[in-house]
Structure 1
Amino acid sequence: MNEYLAASAVVDHDHPAVRALAARHRALYPADDEAYARSVFEWVRDEIRHSIDAQDPRITLTASQTLAEGVGLCFAKSHLLVALLRAEGVPAGFCYQRLTDDGDTFMLHGLIAVHLRGDWHRQDPRGNKPGVDARFSLTHEQLAWPIAAPGEQDYPGVRAEPAPQVVKALSEATDALELYAGDLPDELQIIRS
């Protein structure tokens, strides 16, 4: 589990602002990892605006950038949530879906998994809006979008680090709205060991 607790360039849970936010939430639930995980999930889901919903072109990548700017795509929000979980000793990693709006155009969607009760549980901090009602749950998934259309898929496994193609896309982009409109990766390279 050590790799699911580690800090990195993107999951910079050692950043003072990330640590301070994590400590504020942990103080509310000092001995309850489940309540702490729910608390930081709901905070990221509700307090960090999704770039598209906010029509905000700023690009954020790292957990600390996302926290400082208060906005990010699903990937950036996931980076922040994983950092907050790891900062307080709760193992967490990254998951991805391939989704479509129209059946022809696909894009990746980023979410997380948290390790509690001896298993991984996927959570989607994307942010709710009409038609999207993601909730924290350890008994049944309530993601922003369940797989429903042909060609959509849940990618298997939980990654310790964000997918390199996601990091590359965010690192090279200058406008989140343009990135979302056409330059997001549409498939994830499956890493087999």
Structure 2
Amino acid sequence: MQLTPVTADEAAYLVADAAVDHTHPVVRETAARLSAGVDDLTGYARAAFEFVRDTVPHSVDADDPRITWRASDVLARRTGICHAKAHALAALLRAEGIPAGFCYQKLDVLHGMIALKLPGGRWVRQDPRGNKPGVNAQFRLDREQLAWPVRPEKGECDYPVLYAEPHPVVLRALRLATDRAELWRLLDTAL
């Protein structure tokens, strides 16, 4: 899938903000632990992806009603829906100087993931949602291996825009929701 960044300025994809708070001690400490065992940025990106995918349960899979949206909270509380997990992965990548942005799919719900850009490479989507039977998202740079393929015949689509910040529709829903049931009511399926 060819992504269109909202800005050509790659520095926008390294910024810390309220959701991608990569200067927070929890994010910095996690990034330092993950980078200690790798030799290059590709190895670090893979380690960060696998860490978020495998050690932060998707709140639906874990039947956890708590809502997290800030990367540091996702990492500290070890829970989040796809959007929150994307915030955590983007923060870990940005903490080590890897540009990361946000992209979305319209499925039966609005699904969130990230795209990263390694030096000399292109933007590549990565889906840290978390695996389970029937879901096998993998860190790949040669081709995508996301959690969900879109089914155009069901009205699903990949949104081709790469955002430097989480989409305002997503942030609003995550910030206002008091639990997951309310989140689904607030989170529109379209951007």
TM-score of the alignment, normalized to the shorter chain, above 0.5: yes
Question: How big is each residue's C-alpha offset from its partner over 1:3-24, in whole Å with a ceiling of 9 and x where there is no partner?
Answer: 1111001100000010010011
- Where do 5+ consecutive residues of structure 1 fail to align? 101-106, 189-193
Pick from 103, 106, 112 the counterpart of residue 110 of structure 1.
112
- Give the one of 83, 87, 100 matched to 1:92: 100
Deviation at 1:177?
A: 3.7
Query: In the aligned structure 1, how far is the partner of 2:156 from the partner of 2:19?
Result: 27
Listed as ranges, the matches of 1:82-161 within 5 Å are 82-100=90-108, 107-116=109-118, 117-150=120-153, 151-161=155-165
What is the Cα deviation at residue 176 of structure 1?
Answer: 1.5
Of 63-72 and 142-151, the range deviating more from structure 2? 142-151
* Counterpart code for 2:166: P
> What SS does structure 2 have at the residue aligned with 1:38?
helix
* % identity of equivalent residues: 58
Q: What is the DSSP-based 3-state SS (H/G/I as helix, E as strand, rest coil) of the residue aligned with 2:133?
A: coil
Q: Distance in 2 between matches of 1:185 and 1:34?
A: 34
- What displacement does 1:157 show? 2.1
1:166-192 Cα distance to aligned partner (Å, 9 max, x none): 000011000124423x4321101xxxx
- What are the ranges of 5 or more consecutive residues in structure 2 without an aligned counterpart? 1-9
**Residues 56, 75 of structure 2: 8 Å contact kept:** yes
Alignment RMSD (CA, Å): 1.0
What TM-score, normalized to structure 1? 0.90
The equivalent of 2:20 in structure 1 is 11
CA drift at 1:152:
0.4
- Give structure 1 regions of 4+ aligned residues with deviation exceeding 3 angstroms: none
Distance 2:48 2:126 in 1: 11
Q: Which letter does structure 2 place at the counterpart of 1:155?
A: Y
Instruction: Determine the structure 2 residue equivalent to 1:103.
Output: none
CA distance in 2, matches of 1:149, 1:137: 23
Q: Tell me, yes or no, if structure 1 residue 81 matches structure 2 residue 94.
A: no
Q: Counterpart in 2 of 1:61?
A: 69
Secondary structure at the residue paired with 1:25? helix
Please name the residue that 1:38 is paired with.
46
The answer to whether the 8 A contact 2:16-2:23 is kept is yes
- The TM-score with structure 2 as length reference comes to 0.91
Deviation at 1:27, TM superposition (A): 1.4
Cα offsets for 1:91-143 (capped at 9, x unmatched):
1010000002xxxxxx2100000102420000000000010000000011100
SS at match of 1:39: helix
Asked whether the equivalents of residues 28 and 95 of structure 2 are also in contact (C-alpha less than 8 Å), the reply is yes
Q: Does residue 20 of structure 1 match 2:3?
A: no
- Determine the C-alpha separation between the residues in 2 that align with 1:157 and 1:176: 26
